[in-house]
Amino acid sequence: MRRLFHMMSLSLLGSAAWADEPEPQVEVREDGSVVGRMLIEEAPEDVKDALMPAQTQGRPPTGVISVDTTTNGRCIDIHRRTKGLMSPLEMDTRLCPTGTGWQEHLVSSDDFAKYNTTWHVRQAPGGHSYVEVRVDSAVNLKVPESLKHRTTAQGIRDVFTKLMDQLSRR
């Protein structure tokens, strides 16, 4: 098993509004999910290829202590430790490629009741890409929703920063 750091994973929604700015837009939805989106001046296939390295290499995002990964066919099994208020929170997830990006879902955890993340990448005018991530999670602890949302939003910003760094090295 290789010890790697894992960036929080990301989902595209068809009705999203896109900015022409190079910064990701992040919002909390009514259902409690946190969604980040960004227009990236790279082709969709290049973005999809860069997503896995951006998620599994380098410094972890805000709130993540460490990640251990194991290849499982086309997927990656992940054991993640995140910062908790009193002690670290742990979960096992599986990250798999999809036709439009990546999907990560909770396999087991005593600390998390739910964890689903989806990245979607689609064609934008001029050969660019619309990239969207949706993180939907719930912990089995009494934690203020605002704290969970703030940490998740910062993790999404961190992932987009790493994705842009990964793309700039190509």
**What pLDDT digit, counting tens, does each position of 55-98 carry?**
666 666 667 888 888 999 999 999 989 888 788 999 999 999 99
pLDDT of 5 = 26
pTM of the model as a whole: 0.81
CATH class of 2-168: alpha beta
Separation CA 21–CA 76 (nearest Å): 32
* Residue 3 CA, distance from chain mean position: 18
What is the tens place of the pLDDT at every residue in 98-147?
Answer: 999 999 999 999 999 999 999 999 999 999 999 999 999 998 988 888 98
Whose tokens are 């096992």? That residue is 92
Q: Which residue did the predictor score with more confidence, 38 or 21? A: 38
Separation CA 144–CA 61 (nearest Å): 20
